[in-house]
A and B are shown apart, each in its own frame.
Chain A
């Protein structure tokens, strides 16, 4: 019985670490797609740096997931040698980058969730998850500030910037509910104090979103057609295309070094 409980907990920690790693890697990779093509040099550097933070966080979560799983899989195995159906990321992070307003709106909606989520995860009874979250939360505070400032500039900017960011919010809103879906194995982690309850993060997220949208003179879209499935490996076609590009080198030249 004790062994079963312990192994159930280990499996759940693996699943959560993997999901958090996938969220960070996929969004991090999406941000790097702006390298050399952002609307201005400062943002080019900013988005690349934000991407680096996320990829760094993904490495920490993957390394831990691999250790917990105990099958010898390392960060690169998890990043480069799984197909889309084995990825557990939220759908919102895999969508194509779209225009600058889409990228900013996504970054804002995600950071407004993950910043309080990491604050809570930093108190996890699992020491490793806690220390990764304590490190990552400092970076996400910065991401949230950066994205919030841009939401306000775009929303309260020109007619064109407002039109674009409104359209981005409308497109992305249906993907926000998935952030608060508790994965099946996560319930045991929440009960044991090893992971925060995502549903309890929603009021904090909503308060941040509402405050920034108000200042940006934007309207919060209505909840309809909420999408999910990423945590079960049911992804959009966009993830396949992204992974094909991200994984091709590692798969054609396994173990390559440079």
Chain B
């Protein structure tokens, strides 16, 4: 949930709502709140500060996300608001909300497992987001982005993205 008290500071509350609702540029069905990268909004020395956290350190979407939030704040008439990045606590896929997981699934991306086996050659068990079958095969540890792996369903034969567990 957006971490502000409504009714007390209208601009702050609005900034939080606007920033939280910005869509992820690479998975445009989930919001920054769903993804867990929106960390909150505070007022510091009179100025509204929106804080975000990156997913992977090298994720090229980090800058795009910041621009998108700045643009959304500007559009909402909050030209004075500023966006800051925080690293701690580090983002994990556990920060993806239940709503976010449901949206990923509906979009055809298997949501991340809550843990990943750490042993060598250990395989995750991932259900196909299309037909639900659990007989699936990992094709590649890396997919279209750093956060996804490429899998194939052995039942319906469709390839799909798996949002990797990262924690």
Q: Which positions in A face B, CB cutoff 8 Å?
A: 28, 41-42, 45-46, 49, 51-57, 59-60, 127, 131-132, 134-136, 138-139, 141, 145-146, 148-149, 152, 212, 215
Q: Contact between A53 and B58 (Cβ–Cβ < 8 Å)?
A: yes
Known: A56-B57, A56-B59, A57-B58. A49 touches B88 (CB 8 A): no
| Distance A83 CA – B140 CA, assembled complex (angstroms) | 38
A134:B90 contact, CB within 8 angstroms: yes
B47 at the interface (CB under 8 A from A): no
- Enumerate 19 A-B pairs (CB-CB under 8 Å) in ascending A order: A28-B58, A42-B141, A45-B142, A46-B142, A49-B146, A55-B58, A56-B54, A56-B56, A56-B57, A59-B57, A60-B57, A131-B90, A134-B87, A134-B90, A135-B54, A139-B56, A145-B118, A146-B141, A149-B121
Provide the bound-state CA to CA distance between A148 and B119, in Å.
10
Nearest first, the 10 closest Cβ-Cβ pairs linking A and B are A56-B58, A56-B57, A52-B58, A42-B140, A131-B88, A135-B90, A131-B87, A46-B142, A45-B142, A49-B146
CB distance from A258 to the nearest CB of B (A): 13
Neighbour of A53 across the interface among B87, B139, B146, CB < 8 A: B146
Give A60's nearest chain B residue, CB to CB. Answer: B57
Q: Is residue B166 contacting chain A, with contact meaning CB distance below 8 A? A: yes
Would you list which residues of chain B between 151 and 167 have a CB under 8 Å from chain A?
Answer: 166-167
At the interface, yes or no: B92 with Cβ under 8 Å from chain A?
yes
Out of A46, A60, A131, A134, name the residue touching B141 (CB < 8 Å).
Answer: A46
The answer to whether B142 and A49 have CB atoms under 8 Å apart is yes
**Cβ contacts under 8 Å, A45 to chain B:** 140, 142-143
B57 contact from A41, A135, A145, A152, Cβ within 8 A: A135
Query: Which A residues are in CB contact (< 8 Å) with B58?
Result: 28, 51-57, 59
In the assembly, what is the distance between CA of A210 and CA of B56, in Å? 30
Interface residues of B in 70-121 (CB under 8 A from A): 87-92, 118, 120-121
Chain B 21-57 interface residues, beta-carbon cutoff 8 Å to A: 54, 56-57
Contact A52 B140 (CB under 8 A): no
**In the complex, which residue of chain A has the Cβ closest to the Cβ of B117?**
A145
C-alpha gap A152/B120 in the complex (Å): 10
Q: How far is the CA of A49 from the CA of B166 in the complex (A)?
A: 14
State how many angstroms separate the Cβ of B39 from the closest Cβ of chain A.
13
Would you call B60 an interface residue if the criterion is a C-beta within 8 Å of the partner chain's C-beta atoms? yes
Q: Are A138 and B87 in contact (CB under 8 A)?
A: no
